[in-house]
Amino acid sequence: MSLLEIKNAKLKLNDKDILKGLSLSVNKGEVHAIMGPNGSGKSTLSYMLAGRGGYDLESGEILLDGQSLLEMEADERARSGLFLAFQYPVELPGVGGMSFLREAVNSRRKFLGKEELDHLAFVKEARKVASKMFVKDEMLKRAVNVGFSGGEKKRFEILQMAMLKPKISILDETDSGLDVDALKIVSDGVNAERNDDNAIVVITHYQRLLDYIVPDFVHILSDGNIIKTGGPELALEVEKNGYAGLINAA
């Protein structure tokens, strides 16, 4: 059984067809990259999976570990182990990073039937993970994403992923706005979380991220459908020839 199964997903926004019968299977232990030009439906796909209001499927099915996500609200999907690293992480003025993380982690733990972490245990764990991501204590004390640089925002996203230990992570344009050094830190963080029990879907414009997070499969998304699937070499082909050739060939 696949960990994540998208079957014939169709979705409209403002009466316009955005996803047109998209299907995708992701198994445990795999990393999939979804590449595509602007307007191909990449962000819609991530919002749809995460259950954002207004992004409901017209038809089709999504299963996480065999369980349908369609009847679940966004927060239930998150607690069930679906994580979305945002392209544009949202600012929460006045909400301290540490307390935000703690609420999130304890919501997930509660769902899993584990004991909630007390304050001390949590801070210890958070600091350990944060240091791996080169996130300073001082940043965790600041309000979530407020005044963070582009790199800090993305590192904080991956820090949350590492703390929440999701089954499936969707990284939406995680490389956007990152310089090479920050890209390496973020990628190392993601790679450290790869294991045989989870899976990662990387959504990106560019091949460059895939040098650091090496995918098992690369899918080309165009006009609401996956038009081609291959290995890492497919990404190199995109880099060399652009999307146009692939799209025309399809």
Partner 1 sequence: MVATQETIDKVNEVSSTYKYGFVTDLESEKAPLGLSEDIVKFISNKKQEPKWLLEWRLKAYKKWLSMEVPNWAMVDFPEINFQDIYYYSAPKTKPKLNSLDEVDPELLKTYDKLGIPIKEQEVLAGVAVDYVFDSVSVVTTFREKLAKEGIIFCPISEAVQTYPDLVKKYLGTVIPIGDNYYAALNSAVFTDGSFVYIPKGVKCPMELSTYFRINEQNSGQFERTLIIAEDNTYVSYLEGCTAPQRDENQLHAAVVELVAMNNAEIKYSTVQNWYPGDKDGKGGIYNFVTKRGNCLGKKSKISWTQVETGSAITWKYPSCVLKGDDSVGEFYSVAVANNAQQADTGTKMIHIGKNTKSTIISKGISAGMAQNTYRGQVQIQKSAKGSRNFTQCDSLLIGDKCGAHTVPYINQFTPQARVEHEATTSKISEDQLFYCLQRGLDTEQATSLIVNGFCKEVMKELPMEFAVEAQKLIGISLEGSVG
Closest CA to 61 of 107, 99, 102, 4: 4
Cβ-contact 84, 104 below 8 angstroms: no
Question: In the complex with partner 1, which residue's Cβ is closer, 56 or 75?
Answer: 75
Q: Which helix (H) or strand (E) holds 126?
A: helix 119-132
Question: In the complex with partner 1, which residue's Cβ is closer, 90 or 249?
Answer: 90
Does the footprint of partner 1 cover residue 66 (CB under 8 A)? no
Q: How far is the CB of 217 from partner 1 (least distance, A)?
A: 24
Does the footprint of partner 1 cover residue 104 (CB under 8 A)? yes
User: What is the residue whose two structure tokens read 């990073």?
Assistant: 97
Question: In the complex with partner 1, which residue's Cβ is closer, 104 or 214?
Answer: 104
Cβ-contact 168, 136 below 8 angstroms: no
Contact pick of 71, 94, 138, 244 for partner 1 (by CB under 8 A): 94
Q: How far is CA 3 from the centre of its chain?
A: 15
Q: Which helix (H) or strand (E) holds 199?
A: strand 199-204
Does the footprint of partner 1 cover residue 107 (CB under 8 A)? yes
- CA distances to 57, 211, 224, 225 from 8, rounded to whole Å, are 10, 30, 11, 9
Q: How far is CA 136 from the centre of its chain?
A: 23
Does the footprint of partner 1 cover residue 158 (CB under 8 A)? no
Site string for partner 1, 5-44 (x = CB under 8 A): ----------------------------------------
- Tell which positions 187-246 bind partner 1, by CB under 8 A: none
Question: In the complex with partner 1, which residue's Cβ is closer, 102 or 238?
Answer: 102
Give contact residues for partner 1 (rule: CB under 8 A): 50-53, 73-75, 78-79, 83-84, 86, 89-95, 99-100, 103-104, 107-108, 111, 143, 160, 164
